[in-house]
């Protein structure tokens, strides 16, 4: 008897190249998330230097970099993409962001006096919806953060990912935007004892991230953009607070790889 072929499954890897906020530490570089099958990077924090090690995982010689906002811990890694190659071929780097963020990158971060040779092939304005070269669909929604920030949802072959970082707790419209995602990557900078500081600085506590995951019906919650100056005890306390709301919540760290399949 001939065995039936297994149905085709959509498999998507999500790699945390940088999972912290503000400044790098021995454990966490700042935000950079790599989806190799989609040729996609979410934010270009200090963790972006690892893209040189991971370029061979790309399925083409193009890399789309989507920036949520222009704060330095999310964009400085663009300067690390100089001479990015896949094998012997150069990788085309396409940066997508709001007009304000693109202006900050071009006029300040990549000003000739600071970085005279641009590592960016071209820039594209990020709107509410973007179809990537891979066919994946990316949608954006506004977040509440000083200077502005956008959240992201990625859909590809029945797999969905939400990316919410640098924001105060989100409202109903944003929750609807990430409704039912397979994986929610959500900032969780503080524990509950620092809720007032979280609000004043435009960030979230771990418990707030967990409440968002529950409200949106997310299947998995991985928290990131943690305070780099916090202790291990602080992180354990924040994680415990999140798990009171979303029992399987976890903190991501650099090198973590999540695989989603359908």
The H-or-E segment that residue 101 falls in is: helix 99-104
What pLDDT is attached to residue 231? 95
Contact of 212 with 175, CB cutoff 8 Å: yes
- Would you state the pLDDT for residue 11? 84
The sheet carrying 250-251 orders its strands as: 129-131, 137-142, 150-156, 159-164, 183-187, 221-224, 250-251
116: number of Cβ within 10 Å: 8
- Nearest-CA neighbor of 129 among 119, 140, 114? 140
Q: What is the pLDDT along the chain (262 residues), one digit of tens a residue?
A: 444 444 456 789 999 999 999 999 999 999 999 999 999 999 999 999 999 999 999 999 999 999 999 999 999 999 999 999 999 999 999 999 999 999 999 999 999 999 999 999 999 999 999 999 899 999 999 999 999 999 999 999 999 999 999 999 999 999 999 999 999 999 999 999 999 999 999 999 999 999 999 999 999 999 999 999 999 999 999 999 999 999 999 999 999 999 998 7
Q: Can you tell me the distance from the alpha carbon of 29 to that of 45, in angstroms, rounded to the nearest whole number?
A: 7
Tell me the pTM.
0.95
Residue 9: predicted pLDDT: 63
Region of 196 (left: φ > 0; alpha: ψ -120 to 50; beta: rest) is: alpha
Domains of the chain from N-terminus onward: 12-250 (3.60.15.10)
């Amino acid at each position: 008897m001939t065995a039936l072929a297994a149905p085709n499954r959509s498999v998507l890897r999500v790699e945390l190249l940088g999972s912290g906020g503000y400044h790098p530490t021995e454990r966490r570089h700042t935000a950079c998330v790599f989806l190799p099958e989609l040729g996609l990077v979410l934010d270009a924090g200090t963790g972006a230097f690892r893209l040189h090690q991971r370029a061979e995982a790309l399925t083409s010689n193009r890399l789309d970099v989507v920036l949520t906002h222009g704060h330095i811990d999310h964009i400085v890694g663009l300067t690390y993409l100089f001479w990015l190659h896949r094998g012997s071929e150069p990788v085309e780097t396409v940066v997508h962001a709001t007009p304000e963020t693109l202006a900050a990158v071009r006029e300040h971060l990549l000003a000739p006096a600071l970085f005279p040779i641009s590592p960016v092939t071209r820039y594209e304005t990020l709107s509410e919806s973007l179809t990537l070269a891979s066919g994946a669909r990316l949608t954006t929604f506004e977040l509440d953060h000083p200077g502005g920030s956008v959240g992201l949802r990625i859909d590809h072959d029945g797999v969905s990912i939400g990316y919410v970082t640098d924001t105060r707790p989100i409202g109903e419209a944003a929750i609807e935007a990430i409704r039912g995602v397979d994986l929610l990557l959500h900032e969780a900078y503080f524990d509950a004892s620092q809720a007032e500081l979280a609000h004043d600085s435009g960030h979230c506590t771990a418990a707030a991230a967990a409440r968002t995951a529950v409200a949106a019906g997310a299947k998995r919650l991985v928290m990131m953009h943690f305070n780099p100056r916090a202790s291990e005890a602080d992180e354990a306390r924040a994680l415990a607070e999140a798990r009171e709301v979303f029992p399987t919540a976890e903190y991501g760290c650099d090198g973590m790889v999540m695989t989603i399949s359908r």
